[in-house]
């Protein structure tokens, strides 16, 4: 066994008081203008959150909340139909889609940007060009770029970058992303969009959020989106339709 017990800095309570980190929940956090996103950021990150970062986080959470009948939403609706008494199970099922194929690309892009942020000017541009050529040479997808639907530009990405550049005091990751984007366009001789996950990676990086925590914010945002799908399912059920549609659409072949 470990020599000494690990500790927690998240919460303590007595009969009459509850603290989130060092703040009294009732007296300091549940005030007239209390704001969930600010409290959540302070709680997760363990530091005060400047107003600009709060605005950026709101934009990120709104953007990642919803994209229609995705695999995540289909899973949630299928499970909700089967076990409507367990709403949390339907949300949990859908959240399990926050993996490598969609949201995980945030992390992959952030890792690329981390290779660039300590360089400046020509050195950064040269390293970015190298990254792009190296991906192209092995025919690898460059995370954070391209979108199968939103062309020539992902409208969400443009707005997120705009918000980030307005709010961020020292936009190191944003600058690195712009540099990488220029290298992409130069290498392919045409404009390829920065996508929403690419923009999100830069914004989270500029808030000093560790790469391995980044998808956590997608999970929170997506939880809200999936509750909306369940609310719709309660009024306009689609679970049986999804079942019958797929069962018919995929024939048996021995």
Cβ neighbours, 10 Å, residue 107 = 20
CB closer to its own copies out of 88 and 170: 88
Using the minimum distance from each CB to its own copies, give the nearer residue, 122 or 247. 247
Is 173 within 8 Å of 205 (Cβ atoms)?
yes
Least separation in angstroms between CB 218 and its own copies: 8
User: Beta partners for 161?
Assistant: none
For its own copies, which is the closer residue by CB, 138 or 236? 236
In terms of Cβ atoms closer than 10 Å to its own Cβ (0-12, 13-18, 19+), residue 140 is exposed
The conformational region for residue 154 under phi > 0 = left, psi -120 to 50 = alpha, else beta, is beta
- Smallest distance, its own copies to C-beta of residue 246, A: 5
Between 179 and 193, name the residue whose CB sits nearer to its own copies.
193
In a 13 Å sphere around the CA of 204, the CA atoms on its Cβ side amount to 26
In whole angstroms, the minimum distance from the beta carbon of 67 to its own copies comes to: 6
User: Minimum distance from CB of 147 to its own copies (Å)?
Assistant: 9
The CA angle 39-65-90, to the nearest 5 degrees, is 95
Q: Supply the minimum distance, in Å, between the C-beta of residue 133 and its own copies.
A: 27
Q: How far is the CB of 184 from its own copies (least distance, A)?
A: 20
Rounded to whole angstroms, the maximal C-alpha distance in the chain is: 66
In angstroms, give the least distance from the CB of 28 to its own copies: 11
b/e sequence 161-180, b meaning 16+ C-beta within 10 Å: bebbeebbeebbbbbbbbbb
Residue closer to its own copies, measured from CB, 133 or 141: 141
Closer residue to its own copies in complex, CB, 6/121: 6
Residue 142 or 220: the one with the smaller Cβ distance to its own copies is 220
Q: Long-range contacts: 229-235, Cβ < 8 Å, 24+?
A: 229/73, 229/76, 229/77, 229/94, 230/76, 230/77, 230/80, 230/87, 230/90, 230/91, 233/77, 233/80, 233/81
């Amino acid at each position: 066994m470990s020599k000494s017990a690990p500790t927690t800095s998240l919460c303590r309570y007595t009969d009459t008081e509850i603290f989130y980190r060092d703040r009294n929940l009732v007296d300091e956090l549940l005030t007239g203008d209390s704001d969930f996103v600010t409290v959540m950021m302070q709680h997760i990150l363990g530091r005060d959150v400047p107003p600009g970062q709060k605005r950026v986080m709101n934009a990120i959470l709104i953007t990642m909340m919803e994209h229609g009948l995705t695999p995540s939403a289909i899973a949630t609706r299928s499970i909700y139909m089967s076990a409507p008494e367990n709403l949390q199970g339907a949300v949990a099922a859908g959240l399990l889609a926050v993996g490598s194929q969609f949201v995980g690309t945030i992390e992959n892009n952030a890792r690329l940007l981390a290779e660039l942020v300590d360089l400046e000017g020509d050195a950064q541009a040269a390293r970015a060009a190298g990254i792009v050529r190296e991906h192209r040479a092995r025919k690898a997808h460059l995370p954070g770029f391209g979108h199968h639907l939103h062309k020539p530009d992902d409208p969400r990405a443009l707005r997120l970058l705009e918000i980030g550049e307005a709010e961020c005091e020292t936009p190191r990751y944003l600058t690195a992303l712009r540099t990488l984007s220029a290298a992409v366009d130069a290498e392919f001789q045409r404009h390829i969009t920065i996508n929403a996950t690419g923009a999100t990676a830069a914004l989270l990086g500029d808030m000093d959020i560790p790469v391995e925590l980044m998808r956590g914010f997608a999970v929170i945002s997506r939880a809200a989106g999936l509750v909306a799908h369940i609310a719709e399912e309660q009024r306009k059920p689609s679970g049986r339709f999804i079942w019958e549609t797929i069962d018919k659409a995929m024939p048996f072949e021995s």
